Structure 1
Amino acid sequence: MYVIAITGRKKSGKTTLIEEIVRRLSPQIRIAVIKHIHYGGIEFDTKGTDTWRIKHAGAPVVVGVAPDAFFLNASINKQSLELALNIIKIVNPEIKLILLEGFYSQIKEQKNIKRIIVARSIEEINELINGKNKPLAIFCPNCIDKEINKIPIYNNINDIIIKIEKLVKGEGQ
């Protein structure tokens, strides 16, 4: 099972990228999504919310994690990425890919979790590239550069999805 964190600034396109990954890859790869939510009092699985959008894109398991709630068709008062990962493994052991939306500070030093940065500019990439967890790739639709610090930059959504698919199927790095 692969765990890939999709990180980036607010409104950078993280949810849109995840929706497209799920839409395109879920017919052949079992995918779960865990979304990091920074604030409490949120309604999960409400029409138009990120968790609703991802679920309706085709993810069989969607987990939302916030300071005061945990969404997996139930709510609890605990924020824990490790707990969410373990629940997914128990609930659906056939999951081959877990996509994390956010969790930047929790995963930036973890080398066992692959990371894709979503950015709108080279300046944004430079702000997000730090930590021991070198990104697997960068998705920046507005960037002209093809790499930065030996990390590939993709500006086409199809190319980044192909990279993820090859990785999960054992054909990529």
Structure 2
Amino acid sequence: MRVYGVTGWKNAGKTGLMERLVAEITSRGFTVSTVKHAHHSVDVDQPGTDSHRHRVAGASEVLLASGQRIALMQELRGAPEPPLAELLARLSPVDLVLVEGFKREDHPKIEAYRAAAGHALMAPENGTIRAVASDTPLDLDRPVYDLDYTVGIADFILKEVGL
């Protein structure tokens, strides 16, 4: 499975870039899945729903199915967070998986960078970052794209992964 990441510090524009890349790449006829890392507690289920009640009662997994989507919730219950490779193995086959976050993993990435966010660039210290999408011109040893140049960034990623 082809995997490419979008990384960057908080408020750098990662999620907006991910959203635009998914729309652009799927419009070209490719199938795309995404993996998003969260640093905080996440609950996609709502208190009071039957599925939430199942989880609270102690279920290890709850699969919620409807005519529109399927959601599988798995409780770690103290187990360590699975590594990215294990999470990727759970996905159905697609042309490309875009990964948001997981900055310390070794898959190739593009860094989203906004000067106003006030963080230093990660790219100079991280060889897995193959390009930077920035809202300001930068002088780097790798390609720098305008953060809003979605078509060019998509072209770069698709070329990188051989699609």
Check whether TM > 0.5: yes
Q: Which runs of 5+ in 2 are unaligned?
A: 47-60, 64-70
| Residue number in structure 1 paired with 2:36 | 35
* Structure 1 equivalent of residue 55 of structure 2: none
Separation in structure 2 between the aligned mates of residue 158 and residue 21 of structure 1, nearest angstrom = 8
1:43, distance to aligned residue in structure 2 (A): 2.3
> TM-score, normalising length from structure 1?
0.66
Structure with more contact order per residue of length (Cα contacts < 8 Å, sep ≥ 6): 2
CA distance in 1, matches of 2:33, 2:89: 12
Distance in structure 2 (CA, Å) of the matches to 1:73 and 1:121: 38
In structure 2, the residue matched to 1:152 is 143
1:116 equivalent in structure 2: 110
Q: 1:166 Cα deviation (Å)?
A: 2.9
Q: 2:8 touches 2:122 (CA, 8 Å); kept in 1?
A: no
Is the CA contact 2:3–2:161 (under 8 Å) kept in the aligned structure 1?
A: no
- Equivalent residue number for residue 124 of structure 2: 129
Q: Is the 8 A contact 2:33 2:97 kept in 1?
A: yes
Stretches of structure 1 that go unaligned for 5 or more consecutive residues are 47-68
Contact 1:139 1:157 in 2 (8 A): no
Q: Which amino acid aligns with 1:96?
A: D
- C-alpha displacement of 1:128: 4.4
Where does residue 51 of structure 2 map in the other structure?
Answer: none
Aligned pair in 2 of structure 1 residues 99, 45: CA closer, same or farther (>3 Å)?
farther
Q: What displacement does 1:144 show?
A: 2.0
**Does the CA-based 8 Å contact 1:35-1:100 persist in structure 2?**
yes
Please give the alpha-carbon distance, in whole angstroms, between the structure 2 residues aligned to 1:96 and 1:76. 28
Paired amino acid for 1:13: G
Q: Distance in 1 between matches of 2:4 and 2:120?
A: 17
C-alpha deviation, 1:157, in angstroms: 2.4
Whole-angstrom CA distance in 2 between matches of 1:45 and 1:30: 26
| 2:96 alignment partner in structure 1 | 97
Q: Distance in 2 between the 1:20 and 1:169 partners?
A: 20
Normalising by structure 2, we get a TM-score of 0.69
Q: 1:21 to 1:132 in 2, by over 3 A?
A: closer
Identity of aligned residues (%): 24
Counterpart Cα distance in 2 of 1:127 and 1:83: 25
